[in-house]
Amino acid sequence: MSSYKERIANLDLYQLKDFQNAIQDAIAEKQAEERCTVWRVFCGHFTVSNFRSDEYLKAVECLAMAAKKAHSIDCNDREELQFSIEAERVPVSEYEGWF
């Protein structure tokens, strides 16, 4: 599969501008979509797991289990003990792809 840069390399200026307009329209449609919350559990900068809008308590349990596991390992790296739950608002059309 080729990258988008390879695919547009041979387009003329008119085609590139048309493509740009199509991309801008697609971005506007995504930004206008209804949004759903994905609860994301992080350890430092790494994603532990993602949970559906109605699964916040499962995210809390996941965070607690991951923290307990990390704490039981002898580690000196404070980043490995930094856990968080963050809400990510995603377009409805992308929601299922998070799980």
**pLDDT tens-digit series, residues 14-38:** 999 999 999 999 999 999 999 999 9
Alpha helices in 1-51 (DSSP H): 4-8, 13-32
**pTM exceeds 0.75 for this model:** yes
Half-sphere exposure of 28 (CA within 13 A, CB side): 6
**Mean pLDDT of the residues in the chain:** 91
pLDDT for 77 equals 60
Over residues 5-21, mean pLDDT:
94
Among the residue ranges 39-43, 48-52, 54-58, 70-74, the one predicted with the least confidence is 70-74
